[in-house]
Amino acid sequence: MIQIVVIGSGNVAHHLISAFLQSTEIELVQVFARDRNALRQFSGSFAITNNLNELAQADLYLIAVSDDAIGPVSMQIQKENGLVAHTSGGVSIDGLASHHRRGVFYPLQTFSKNKTVDFRSIPICLEATTPGDYQLLEKVARSISDSVHAIDSNQRKALHVSAVFANNFTNHLYKIAGDICAENQIPFDILKPLIQETAQKILTLSPAEAQTGPARRHDATTIQRHLDFLTDNPKKIYQLLTQSIQNDQKL
């Protein structure tokens, strides 16, 4: 059994804790939470501390806190026997204090507290400074996921930017589409099958192959009618994305 201490009680920590509790290869020995109420749904499944000076002995300390807190928290971890890894897409491995062994254990998914996810399909991106540490992270990752990848800090930075496009910005386009519907007394539900199909298409086609629409087919009449309809940021976004789709075709 690999002994793990999780530091944090936010969305990522919650989902990791749930996954570890179901793994037969992991012993979750302790969780650090500033407010133990945040972990009440797990009552009794593991020890809880709110003091970083009282961390238990473990093979791996997983820091699942906000990006800004990763450095300060890792500074306070005095357990020099364990590997210390953070779970962030946005922070280099060098963001961890250097007095202990360092690693990254980044699950690439959008987590909501009240929505369960199938952790086995979530890609986990690993980085370590020695082969032994990588193997430890890999063993932990494989115990909860079927999708484990070696991704260094430069790649992880690229991946994090990609994820902003694929997740945050995509969701904002859904928001704009929903706003246009609402302003015209159209139920947003009417767009949901289209949104699902758009996401599913890229499981079998590349995004370049899946691209359709007025920009792709250079349908200037439709583009102009749409621009006449729009105002403000949605209009600017329409123009820029149309131009970007058409630029891509020239390459």
CB-CB contact of 210 with 202 (8 Å): yes
| CA–CA distances in Å: residue 248 to residues 105, 111, 214, 215, 239 | 34, 32, 14, 11, 14
User: How far apart are CB 56 and a second copy at their closest, in Å?
Assistant: 31
Cα–Cα distance measured from residue 22 to residue 120, given in angstroms and rounded to the nearest whole number: 11
CB nearer to a second copy: pick between 53 and 115 = 115
Nearer to a second copy, 51 or 206 (CB): 206
Smaller CB distance to a second copy: residue 78 or 200? Answer: 200
Q: Which is nearer to a second copy, 5 or 148 (CB)?
A: 148
Specify the amino acid at residue 153: S
**DSSP state at residue 95:** G
Strand partners, 28: 4
Residue 205: CB minimum distance to a second copy, A: 7
71, 97 contact by CB (below 8 A):
yes
**CB of 168 vs a second copy, minimal distance in Å:** 3
Question: Which of these, 104, 129, 7, lies nearest to 63 by C-alpha position?
Answer: 7
Between residues 80 and 183, which has the closer beta carbon with respect to a second copy? 183
- Residue 7 Cβ vs a second copy, minimum distance, rounded to whole Å: 20
List the end-to-end C-alpha distance of the chain, in Å, as a whole number: 52
Q: How far is the CB of 22 from a second copy (least distance, A)?
A: 18
- Classify residue 137 as exposed, middle or buried by CB count within 10 Å of its CB (0-12, 13-18, 19+): buried
Closest distance of CB 151 from a second copy, Å: 7
Q: Kindly tell me which of 57 and 249 has the beta carbon lying closer to a second copy.
A: 249
Contact, 13 vs 31, CB < 8 A? yes
